[in-house]
Amino acid sequence: MSIIDTEAPLHTAHRDNHTHRDVNGGWLRPAVFGAMDGLVSNLALMTGVAGGAAAPAGIVIAGLAGLAAGAFSMAAGEYTSVASQRELVLAELDVERQQLRKHPVDEMEELAELYVSRGVEPALAREVAMQLSRDPEQALEIHAREELGIDPDDLPSPLVAAASSFGSFALGALLPVLPYLLGATALWPAVLLALAGLFACGAVVSKVTTRSWWYSGLRQLLLGGAAAGVTYILGTWIGGAIG
Protein backbone atom coordinates (compact mmCIF):
# COMPACT_ATOMS: atom_id res chain seq x y z
CA MET A 1 0.00 0.00 0.00
CA SER A 2 1.50 3.31 -1.08
CA ILE A 3 1.50 6.29 1.23
CA ILE A 4 1.15 9.80 -0.20
CA ASP A 5 2.99 12.55 1.59
CA THR A 6 0.39 15.31 1.61
CA GLU A 7 2.91 17.83 2.92
CA ALA A 8 5.46 17.27 0.16
CA PRO A 9 6.02 20.30 -2.07
CA LEU A 10 4.32 20.31 -5.46
CA HIS A 11 6.60 19.80 -8.45
CA THR A 12 6.52 22.84 -10.69
CA ALA A 13 6.92 20.77 -13.86
CA HIS A 14 3.92 18.61 -12.95
CA ARG A 15 1.80 21.60 -11.98
CA ASP A 16 2.58 23.56 -15.16
CA ASN A 17 2.53 20.71 -17.68
CA HIS A 18 -0.06 18.28 -16.33
CA THR A 19 -2.61 18.74 -19.07
CA HIS A 20 -4.65 16.29 -21.13
CA ARG A 21 -6.25 16.25 -24.52
CA ASP A 22 -9.94 17.08 -24.74
CA VAL A 23 -11.16 13.47 -24.72
CA ASN A 24 -14.73 14.50 -25.49
CA GLY A 25 -13.67 16.39 -28.58
CA GLY A 26 -15.53 19.53 -27.49
CA TRP A 27 -16.93 21.43 -30.48
CA LEU A 28 -14.11 20.31 -32.78
CA ARG A 29 -15.19 16.72 -33.30
CA PRO A 30 -18.88 17.34 -34.24
CA ALA A 31 -17.94 20.31 -36.43
CA VAL A 32 -15.28 18.41 -38.35
CA PHE A 33 -17.36 15.26 -38.70
CA GLY A 34 -20.33 17.34 -39.85
CA ALA A 35 -18.20 18.92 -42.57
CA MET A 36 -16.77 15.51 -43.45
CA ASP A 37 -20.27 14.07 -43.75
CA GLY A 38 -21.29 16.87 -46.09
CA LEU A 39 -18.16 16.39 -48.17
CA VAL A 40 -18.48 12.65 -48.60
CA SER A 41 -22.23 12.55 -49.20
CA ASN A 42 -22.31 15.43 -51.68
CA LEU A 43 -19.17 14.32 -53.51
CA ALA A 44 -20.65 10.84 -53.86
CA LEU A 45 -23.96 12.28 -55.04
CA MET A 46 -22.29 14.48 -57.65
CA THR A 47 -19.99 11.75 -58.96
CA GLY A 48 -22.96 9.41 -59.24
CA VAL A 49 -24.88 11.97 -61.28
CA ALA A 50 -21.78 12.69 -63.38
CA GLY A 51 -21.34 8.97 -63.98
CA GLY A 52 -24.81 8.93 -65.49
CA ALA A 53 -23.53 11.34 -68.18
CA ALA A 54 -25.42 14.34 -66.79
CA ALA A 55 -24.60 17.81 -68.07
CA PRO A 56 -22.64 20.19 -65.79
CA ALA A 57 -25.85 22.10 -65.03
CA GLY A 58 -27.48 18.89 -63.82
CA ILE A 59 -24.47 18.11 -61.61
CA VAL A 60 -24.61 21.59 -60.06
CA ILE A 61 -28.34 21.27 -59.39
CA ALA A 62 -27.79 17.87 -57.81
CA GLY A 63 -24.95 19.24 -55.67
CA LEU A 64 -26.92 22.25 -54.46
CA ALA A 65 -29.99 20.10 -53.80
CA GLY A 66 -27.84 17.63 -51.88
CA LEU A 67 -26.34 20.47 -49.85
CA ALA A 68 -29.74 21.91 -48.91
CA ALA A 69 -31.43 18.57 -48.27
CA GLY A 70 -28.53 17.19 -46.25
CA ALA A 71 -28.02 20.33 -44.18
CA PHE A 72 -31.70 20.65 -43.28
CA SER A 73 -31.94 16.93 -42.55
CA MET A 74 -28.88 17.05 -40.31
CA ALA A 75 -30.18 20.13 -38.48
CA ALA A 76 -33.64 18.62 -37.94
CA GLY A 77 -32.21 15.32 -36.78
CA GLU A 78 -29.71 16.96 -34.43
CA TYR A 79 -32.37 19.27 -32.99
CA THR A 80 -34.74 16.37 -32.33
CA SER A 81 -32.00 14.21 -30.85
CA VAL A 82 -30.60 16.86 -28.51
CA ALA A 83 -34.06 18.15 -27.53
CA SER A 84 -35.20 14.62 -26.65
CA GLN A 85 -32.05 14.00 -24.65
CA ARG A 86 -32.43 17.30 -22.84
CA GLU A 87 -36.08 16.57 -21.99
CA LEU A 88 -35.11 13.16 -20.62
CA VAL A 89 -32.36 14.69 -18.49
CA LEU A 90 -34.69 17.39 -17.13
CA ALA A 91 -37.27 14.73 -16.27
CA GLU A 92 -34.66 12.70 -14.38
CA LEU A 93 -33.46 15.83 -12.59
CA ASP A 94 -37.03 16.52 -11.52
CA VAL A 95 -37.29 12.99 -10.12
CA GLU A 96 -34.04 13.47 -8.21
CA ARG A 97 -35.21 16.87 -6.92
CA GLN A 98 -38.41 15.33 -5.57
CA GLN A 99 -36.48 12.54 -3.87
CA LEU A 100 -34.17 15.06 -2.22
CA ARG A 101 -37.18 16.96 -0.93
CA LYS A 102 -39.14 13.92 0.28
CA HIS A 103 -36.30 11.72 1.52
CA PRO A 104 -33.28 13.93 2.30
CA VAL A 105 -31.77 11.54 4.86
CA ASP A 106 -32.01 8.54 2.54
CA GLU A 107 -30.42 10.53 -0.29
CA MET A 108 -27.62 11.68 2.02
CA GLU A 109 -26.94 8.08 3.06
CA GLU A 110 -26.98 7.03 -0.57
CA LEU A 111 -24.32 9.63 -1.36
CA ALA A 112 -22.24 8.54 1.63
CA GLU A 113 -22.40 4.90 0.50
CA LEU A 114 -21.25 5.96 -2.94
CA TYR A 115 -18.16 7.62 -1.48
CA VAL A 116 -17.49 4.59 0.70
CA SER A 117 -17.59 2.37 -2.39
CA ARG A 118 -14.87 4.57 -3.84
CA GLY A 119 -12.56 4.07 -0.90
CA VAL A 120 -13.49 6.88 1.50
CA GLU A 121 -13.70 5.92 5.17
CA PRO A 122 -17.35 5.57 6.29
CA ALA A 123 -17.22 8.33 8.93
CA LEU A 124 -15.57 10.78 6.55
CA ALA A 125 -17.89 9.82 3.71
CA ARG A 126 -20.94 10.48 5.90
CA GLU A 127 -19.53 13.84 7.02
CA VAL A 128 -18.82 14.90 3.45
CA ALA A 129 -22.29 13.81 2.31
CA MET A 130 -23.87 15.70 5.20
CA GLN A 131 -22.04 18.92 4.36
CA LEU A 132 -22.82 18.66 0.64
CA SER A 133 -26.50 18.00 1.37
CA ARG A 134 -27.02 21.23 3.32
CA ASP A 135 -27.69 23.20 0.13
CA PRO A 136 -30.54 21.57 -1.89
CA GLU A 137 -29.27 22.90 -5.23
CA GLN A 138 -25.74 21.76 -4.52
CA ALA A 139 -27.06 18.37 -3.42
CA LEU A 140 -29.01 18.08 -6.68
CA GLU A 141 -25.90 18.91 -8.70
CA ILE A 142 -23.79 16.37 -6.80
CA HIS A 143 -26.38 13.60 -7.16
CA ALA A 144 -26.82 14.41 -10.86
CA ARG A 145 -23.08 14.17 -11.45
CA GLU A 146 -22.60 11.02 -9.39
CA GLU A 147 -25.75 9.08 -10.31
CA LEU A 148 -26.62 10.35 -13.79
CA GLY A 149 -23.19 11.46 -14.98
CA ILE A 150 -24.43 14.88 -16.11
CA ASP A 151 -23.86 18.51 -15.22
CA PRO A 152 -27.22 20.28 -14.72
CA ASP A 153 -25.61 23.62 -15.56
CA ASP A 154 -24.11 22.41 -18.83
CA LEU A 155 -26.96 20.81 -20.77
CA PRO A 156 -26.69 20.94 -24.58
CA SER A 157 -28.82 23.43 -26.50
CA PRO A 158 -30.95 21.96 -29.33
CA LEU A 159 -30.79 25.22 -31.28
CA VAL A 160 -27.00 25.46 -31.03
CA ALA A 161 -26.65 21.80 -32.01
CA ALA A 162 -28.96 22.24 -35.01
CA ALA A 163 -27.27 25.44 -36.20
CA SER A 164 -23.75 24.03 -35.87
CA SER A 165 -24.76 20.80 -37.62
CA PHE A 166 -26.41 22.75 -40.45
CA GLY A 167 -23.40 25.04 -40.89
CA SER A 168 -20.70 22.37 -40.78
CA PHE A 169 -22.55 20.05 -43.17
CA ALA A 170 -23.31 22.89 -45.60
CA LEU A 171 -19.68 24.02 -45.56
CA GLY A 172 -18.43 20.54 -46.36
CA ALA A 173 -21.08 19.94 -49.03
CA LEU A 174 -20.22 23.25 -50.70
CA LEU A 175 -16.63 22.24 -51.54
CA PRO A 176 -17.37 19.86 -54.42
CA VAL A 177 -19.93 22.30 -55.86
CA LEU A 178 -17.61 25.31 -55.65
CA PRO A 179 -15.52 24.64 -58.80
CA TYR A 180 -18.69 24.42 -60.89
CA LEU A 181 -19.98 27.68 -59.41
CA LEU A 182 -16.66 29.29 -60.38
CA GLY A 183 -16.95 28.17 -63.99
CA ALA A 184 -15.58 24.61 -64.13
CA THR A 185 -17.25 22.29 -66.63
CA ALA A 186 -15.45 19.05 -65.76
CA LEU A 187 -15.77 16.81 -62.72
CA TRP A 188 -12.08 16.49 -61.81
CA PRO A 189 -11.64 19.95 -60.16
CA ALA A 190 -14.56 19.19 -57.86
CA VAL A 191 -13.13 15.78 -56.99
CA LEU A 192 -9.65 17.20 -56.30
CA LEU A 193 -10.99 19.99 -54.07
CA ALA A 194 -13.26 17.60 -52.18
CA LEU A 195 -10.44 15.09 -51.63
CA ALA A 196 -8.19 17.89 -50.37
CA GLY A 197 -10.96 18.92 -47.98
CA LEU A 198 -11.33 15.34 -46.76
CA PHE A 199 -7.60 15.09 -46.11
CA ALA A 200 -7.71 18.39 -44.19
CA CYS A 201 -10.69 17.23 -42.10
CA GLY A 202 -8.95 13.97 -41.29
CA ALA A 203 -5.80 15.84 -40.30
CA VAL A 204 -7.79 18.12 -37.98
CA VAL A 205 -9.45 15.09 -36.34
CA SER A 206 -5.96 13.91 -35.31
CA LYS A 207 -5.98 16.78 -32.80
CA VAL A 208 -8.38 14.77 -30.63
CA THR A 209 -6.85 11.35 -31.29
CA THR A 210 -3.44 9.72 -30.93
CA ARG A 211 -3.04 9.20 -34.68
CA SER A 212 -0.64 11.26 -36.78
CA TRP A 213 -2.14 13.98 -38.97
CA TRP A 214 -1.02 12.34 -42.21
CA TYR A 215 -2.49 8.96 -41.23
CA SER A 216 -5.87 10.45 -40.27
CA GLY A 217 -5.91 12.65 -43.36
CA LEU A 218 -4.97 9.86 -45.75
CA ARG A 219 -7.48 7.46 -44.19
CA GLN A 220 -10.33 9.91 -44.69
CA LEU A 221 -9.18 10.75 -48.22
CA LEU A 222 -9.20 7.06 -49.17
CA LEU A 223 -12.61 6.41 -47.60
CA GLY A 224 -14.18 9.44 -49.28
CA GLY A 225 -12.50 8.63 -52.58
CA ALA A 226 -13.78 5.05 -52.42
CA ALA A 227 -17.34 6.28 -51.81
CA ALA A 228 -17.10 8.65 -54.77
CA GLY A 229 -15.63 5.94 -56.99
CA VAL A 230 -18.36 3.43 -56.17
CA THR A 231 -21.17 5.91 -56.80
CA TYR A 232 -19.55 6.99 -60.07
CA ILE A 233 -19.53 3.35 -61.24
CA LEU A 234 -23.13 2.91 -60.12
CA GLY A 235 -24.13 6.12 -61.88
CA THR A 236 -22.43 4.98 -65.09
CA TRP A 237 -24.15 1.58 -64.91
CA ILE A 238 -27.59 3.04 -64.15
CA GLY A 239 -27.17 5.73 -66.78
CA GLY A 240 -26.30 3.13 -69.39
CA ALA A 241 -29.17 0.89 -68.34
CA ILE A 242 -31.85 3.55 -68.63
CA GLY A 243 -30.25 5.60 -71.40
Tell me the pTM.
Answer: 0.78
* Residue 26 confidence (pLDDT): 47
* Residue 15 confidence (pLDDT): 54
* Residue 19 confidence (pLDDT): 56
Is the separation of the CB atoms in 59 and 239 below 8 Å? Answer: no
* Residue 153 confidence (pLDDT): 82
* Residue 230 confidence (pLDDT): 96
Name which of 215, 221, 213, 179 is nearest 197 in CA terms.
Answer: 221
Q: Which residues contact 85 (CB under 8 A, 6 or more apart)?
A: 156
* Residue 6 confidence (pLDDT): 55
* Residue 137 confidence (pLDDT): 85
* Residue 152 confidence (pLDDT): 85
Residues of the chain with pLDDT under 70: 1-29, 243
Helices (H) and strands (E) in the chain, counts: 9, 0
**CA contacts within 13 A on the Cβ side of 16:** 3
Residue-range domain boundaries for the chain: 28-232
Rounded Cα distance between 111 and 128, Å, is 9
